[in-house]
Amino acid sequence: MFNLIKSVNYVLKRDKGVLLSYLFIFIIPILLLLMFGLFQLPSLKDLTPGFYYGMDMLSGFAAFSFIGIVIISSKAIAGDESDKTINYDILSGHRRIAVFSSRVLAGLVWGAFFVLVIQMIPVFGMALINGWGAQVNAKDLIIRICLTIFPFIRLSAMTMMLASLTKKAGLGIVLGLSTDILTSIIQALAEEIFHYEIRYEVAFMNMVALLTPENSREYIIDGKPVQVFDTAVSPEMVIKTIGFSLGFTVLYLLIAYIVFKKRDRS
Amino acid sequence: MSENIVEIRNMTKQYGKQRALDDVSLRIKKGSIVGLIGPNGAGKSTLMKIMGGLAYPTNGELEMYGATDERGLNNARTRMSFMIEIPYAKENMTAKENLEKQRIQKGIPDKKRIDEVLKEVNLENTGKKKVKNFSLGMRQRLGLANALLGNPEFMVLDEPINGLDPSGIVEIRELFRSLNQDKDITLVISSHILSELSLLCTDYIFINHGKIKGIFTADELKAACSEYIQIDTDNNELAGALILNKCGINRLEVTKDSGIRIYEKLDEIRDISKILYDNGVIPLEIAKNEVSLEDYYMKMVNNEV
């Protein structure tokens, strides 16, 4: 299976769509952070506690990361489906579980892990410029960032399921993004109509919850405005984030694999 | 006795209401070059896909290199290579990059093998040209290069000379011959260009509507396609009966349109005509003809044999 993963990586490394997606995920936050003046305006610089503020900003435009995850995951799982080159893996005697798993692993690494890392680069960059910020607990933040991988994995798995079922990376991207938009609308409606707060049930909301400060207050310390955040990570947050994410991930991948295993290849 | 490397027993493949394979049984001997012959939709590709693990049979059994279970069949596939339907490739990658991907997934350690196979199929000078700019012939060559990459013992090739120009066809024919004779590679080749297959194959399998219509060795097919006496008379029905009863001939056919064809005792043309004449049948035409492979193929697929 290691050879299969290497061959998928070989293709992904040469895929312009994948590289552009990473660039998009990397550039957009930087541009937006610059636009908000975090790097430039002294007043804002004073206001921000650095790292956490950047993370909070990211939660505001995390949709870009989600787009990146959808594109890259679709290409990882179904890029070889569209041109049927995946058939060579089966014809070469690899078991279908290995052919499927290799693409899933590549999809999760390229689509979830790398996206998270790239997304965090501007935030870490900002922390280097503005400082970590005395008002936040570093350990809490690291836990929150690490937890963010779980909704990413879940989204990546959902996209991979859609792309694998349709056997087309392009269609997987369209369906993945449509599903994201649809679930966001349903979430908004549910909260509005039933007054039911959806947090962990939807990957996007889960991620926002992880990156959003709670109970922030603004204090004037030594004549300067300072925001203080409650960054504590509750056990409920950890359990529900991991539980919901892994539960859905297993479900999505199981559905996709059963179909992949049973279906004749055209 | 020749070793059978593939044996298919009573295989059926159903796609919805359509039966793509219907109780197919066949054997492929080691060292043979088998021509798989049939019209479009006959079931050739389905058969190849099942051998390659791309499709599952509805019923029946597949045995390759002595294995019938999934693990064993997958192990057998590591000794084989396939080119089914159009050769698949990454459009935005070069021939070399495409082969490199396959080299990695097959776990072939030697990178030089890519240059070797590209040279074997005459694609060594494509450089940075992407596959999307390849002609059909070049794609076929790339598909062949891919099939050769892992030094297979057994190659299954679907229409491998499609899109090749005449010199390319000759060149690839020689390549197949050399692979078979020099490297002892067994080949299964499907093609519509029957004259090409007749220059190459040691065995033939005719298939139509998912059913095996006939399995022949080259000698048997040559005999079946050999000469015949064509007779047309003023009473073909009576003539047919006379030939059967008085000439001791059993291999003949009587048709409304083309008269009588006799496939044995070809040297007794004079005696046959005399017998007919003596019994009041007037021969209008008597000639020695030959059945081409195409003729035989058409008869075979139309159930006329």
pLDDT tens digit sequence for B112-131: 999 999 998 888 888 889 99
Contact B227, B290 (CB under 8 A): yes
Contact B137, B165 (CB under 8 A): yes
Q: B203-208 and A214-221 as β-strands: parallel, antiparallel, unpaired?
A: unpaired
Determine the average pLDDT of the residues in B132-149: 88
Determine the average pLDDT of the residues in A55-70: 76
∠ CA(A156), CA(A162), CA(A167), 5° rounding?
120
Q: Is the pLDDT of residue B267 over 50?
A: yes
Q: Is the pLDDT of residue A40 over 60?
A: no
Read off φ and ψ for residue B126, nearest 5 degrees: -80, -15
What residue in B sits closest to A260 (Cα-Cα)? B54
Q: Is the pLDDT of residue A41 over 60?
A: no
Name which of A3, A84, A91 to mutate to probe chain B: the one with the most chain B Cβ atoms within 10 A of its Cβ: A91
pLDDT of residue A83: 87
Please give the CATH architecture assigned to the domain spanning B4-219: 3-Layer(aba) Sandwich (3.40)
The token pair that represents B206 in the structure block: 């005719």
Query: Which residue did the predictor score with more confidence, A131 or B94?
Result: B94
pLDDT of residue A153: 93
Task: Report the share of chain B in percent with pLDDT over 90.
Answer: 34
Residue B19: Cβ within 10 Å count: 16
Identical fold for domains B4-219 and B225-301, yes or no, is no
Determine the average pLDDT of the residues in B224-239: 82
pLDDT of residue A208: 80
CA pair distance A250, A172, nearest whole angstrom? 18
Q: Is the pLDDT of residue B305 over 80?
A: no
- Identify the contact set of chain B against chain A, taking CB-CB distances under 8 A: 15, 49, 52-56, 70-71, 74-78, 80-82, 84, 88-93, 97-98, 100-102, 104-107, 146, 150
Query: Which residue did the predictor score with more confidence, B167 or B146?
Result: B146
Q: B227-233 and B259-262 as β-strands: parallel, antiparallel, unpaired?
A: antiparallel
Reported as a pLDDT band with limits 50, 70 and 90, residue A166 is: very high
Residue B130: Cβ within 10 Å count: 16
Residue A34: Cβ within 10 Å count: 12
pLDDT of residue A227: 65
Name which of B21, B50, B54, B132 to mutate to probe chain A: the one with the most chain A Cβ atoms within 10 A of its Cβ: B54
Token pair 């694998």: residue: A164
Q: Is the pLDDT of residue B1 over 50?
A: no
pLDDT tens digit sequence for B27-85: 999 999 999 988 888 888 899 999 999 999 999 999 999 999 999 999 999 999 998 87
pLDDT of residue A37: 59
Q: Is the pLDDT of residue A92 over 90?
A: yes
CA pair distance A98, A89, nearest whole angstrom? 9
The token pair that represents B301 in the structure block: 């697929």
What is the DSSP annotation of A129-166? HH---TTS-HHHHHHHHHHHHHHHHHHHHHHHHHHHHH
Region of A215 on the Ramachandran plot (φ > 0 left; ψ -120 to 50 alpha; else beta): left
CA pair distance B134, B141, nearest whole angstrom? 10
Q: Is the pLDDT of residue A57 over 70?
A: no
| Helix, strand or coil, per DSSP, at residue B16 | coil
CA pair distance B140, B121, nearest whole angstrom? 9
Q: Is the pLDDT of residue A235 over 90?
A: no
Reported as a pLDDT band with limits 50, 70 and 90, residue A234 is: confident
Cα distances (angstroms) measured from residue A57 to each of A48, A126, A217: 11, 11, 16
CA pair distance B147, B150, nearest whole angstrom? 7
Reported as a pLDDT band with limits 50, 70 and 90, residue A56 is: low
Q: What's chain A's average pLDDT?
A: 82
| Helical packing angle, A114-130 and A16-35, nearest 10° | 30
Contact B86, B159 (CB under 8 A): no
Residues in B touching A6 (Cβ below 8 Å) = 104-105
pLDDT of residue B38: 84
Sheet containing strand B211-217, edge to edge, reads B80-83, B154-158, B186-190, B33-37, B203-208, B211-217
Determine the average pLDDT of the residues in A59-63: 71
A85:B89 CB<8 A: yes
pLDDT of residue A196: 77
Contacts of A258 (CB under 8 A, 6+ apart): none
Option in A7, A93, A94 nearest B101 (CB): A7
Domain regions of chain B by residue span: 4-219, 225-301
In chain B, which residue ranges form alpha helices assigned H by DSSP? 44-52, 70-77, 95-106, 112-120, 136-149, 166-183, 194-198, 218-224, 236-246, 269-278, 293-301
What is the DSSP annotation of A44-67? HHHH--SHHHHHHHHHHTTHHHHH
Contacts of B41 (CB under 8 A, 6+ apart): none
pLDDT tens digit sequence for A209-227: 887 766 666 677 677 766 6
pLDDT of residue B98: 94
- Average the pLDDT over each of A32-41, A104-113, A220-229 and give the range with the smallest value: A32-41
Say whether residue A70 is in contact with chain B using an 8 A CB cutoff: no
ipTM of the complex: 0.80
Cα R_g (chain A), whole angstroms: 20
CA pair distance A166, A82, nearest whole angstrom? 10
Say whether residue A179 is in contact with chain B using an 8 A CB cutoff: no
Domain regions of chain A by residue span: 2-262
pLDDT tens digit sequence for A121-165: 877 777 777 666 656 677 777 888 888 899 999 999 999 999 999
The token pair that represents A189 in the structure block: 């409606």
Contact B154, B186 (CB under 8 A): yes
pLDDT of residue B39: 82
Query: Which residue did the predictor score with more confidence, A138 or A40?
Result: A138
What residue in A sits closest to B132 (Cα-Cα)? A83
Amino acid found at A111: G
pLDDT of residue A87: 92
| Helix, strand or coil, per DSSP, at residue B250 | coil
pLDDT of residue B33: 93
- Burial level of A43, CB count in 10 A (0-12/13-18/19+)? exposed
- Most confident range (mean pLDDT) of B17-26, B160-169, B196-205 is B17-26
pLDDT of residue A160: 93
CA pair distance B192, B173, nearest whole angstrom? 14
Say whether residue A263 is in contact with chain B using an 8 A CB cutoff: no
pLDDT of residue B222: 76
Q: What is the CATH number of domain B225-301?
A: 3.30.70
In B8-90, which residue ranges form alpha helices assigned H by DSSP? 44-52, 70-77
Cα R_g (chain B), whole angstroms: 24
Name which of A9, A16, A18, A85 to mutate to probe chain B: the one with the most chain B Cβ atoms within 10 A of its Cβ: A85
